[in-house]
Amino acid sequence: MRAGNHASVEAVDEQRWQTQIEARPAAVPHLRREVLDTLSRECPGVDLAAAGLIVTELAANVVNHAYTETGPVEVEVLCEPDAATLTVRDWGHGFGKSPNHGLGIGLQIATALASQLHVRRSRPTEIHVRLVRAPYPGRPTHA
């Protein structure tokens, strides 16, 4: 896990990038910036405004709800021909510890902006968000 507030995205393979940082409030903007830079460079056509809001909300959820003290938050970017999938992962308390069972405003915002959202409630907790890529010049289209 990276100490401090600075995330650095590393390639896992030709389609996947990953970063992990300590879940602290000051780290969320840096994490968002790194993920958006990666999406902009590697997955043209993704709605960066929507992606930025999603990363912010989901990372803030980890900061505010996952850990008693602090722990890691990991974001993975998978770039496919027609979409990008963002996975936000933590090893904290998991869902269901609040009256709304973990389905608060942050997940509602992410659900509204995503073309698909899936929550894995085991350890680690994972939220997978799929964002469709818009056509852009030079990108092959599927018939």
Q: What is the pLDDT of residue 8?
A: 84
At 11-63, the pLDDT tens digits run 999 999 999 999 999 999 999 999 999 999 999 999 999 999 999 989 998 99
Please, what is the average pLDDT of the chain? 82
For the domain made up of 10-132, the CATH class stated in words is alpha beta
Q: What is the pLDDT of residue 3?
A: 46
DSSP output for 66-129: I-SS--EEEEEEEE-SSEEEEEEEE-SS-S-SSTTTT-SHHHHHHHHH-SEEEEE-SSSEEEEE
Q: State the average pLDDT over residues 77-84.
A: 94
Read off the pTM: 0.81
Check pLDDT > 60 for residue 100. Answer: no
Domain ranges within the chain, ordered by starting residue: 10-132
Phi-psi category of residue 28: left, alpha or beta, with phi > 0 → left and psi -120 to 50 → alpha = alpha
The listed range with the strongest mean pLDDT (33-47, 85-99, 127-141) is 33-47
Residues in the chain: 143
DSSP output for 8-68: --EESSSSEEEEEEE--TTHHHHHHHHHHHHHHHHSTTS-HHHHHHHHHHHHHHIIIII-S
Pair 115, 71: CB distance under 8 Å: no
Q: State the average pLDDT over residues 56-73.
A: 90
Which one is predicted more confidently, 103 or 26? 26
Q: Which residues contact 92 (CB under 8 A, 6 or more apart)?
A: 23, 62, 65, 66, 67, 71, 125
Pair 58, 127: CB distance under 8 Å: yes
Q: State the average pLDDT over residues 76-83.
A: 94
